[in-house]
Structure 1
């Protein structure tokens, strides 16, 4: 059986309003929450065969 995970990026920073949407980084809460969801996914011992992600900085940082 295949499993599909849908994951939204973690909370992004709005500290610099001049940054375009795709360049906004994660804020402190987002970094913390991303680490937590990473641990939960790792505990399932299920490794994805494919990841499709937005090119936005915050989306890429959520997955690292």
Structure 2
């Protein structure tokens, strides 16, 4: 059976009011949370065939850090 995992982007920063919503980066908490979520994912021995992400900065960063942390080879 196929399983779909949905992972929302980590906490993003509102520090720069001049940035468009699409360009907001992760904040310090978001950068800390991604490896924690990956550890939980790995602890359950979840298998990933494909990662799809929004092109928004915070989503791409989350997906990139998450894929590295789970050793994704897609």
How much has 1:46 moved relative to structure 2? 2.4
Any idea what the Cα deviations from partners look like across 1:6-59, whole Å, max 9, x if unmatched?
111010000001001111110011111111101111222223111121101111
Normalised to the residue count of structure 1, the TM-score between the two structures is: 0.88
The answer as to 2:40 corresponding to 1:46 is no
Q: What residue ranges of structure 2 are gaps of 5+ in the alignment?
A: 66-74
SS at match of 1:41: helix
RMSD of the TM alignment (CA)? 1.1
Aligned residues: 64
The ranges of structure 1 where at least 4 consecutive aligned residues each deviate by more than 6 angstroms after the TM superposition are: none
SS at match of 1:61: helix
Q: What residue ranges of structure 1 are gaps of 5+ in the alignment?
A: none
Distance 1:27 1:34 in 2: 11
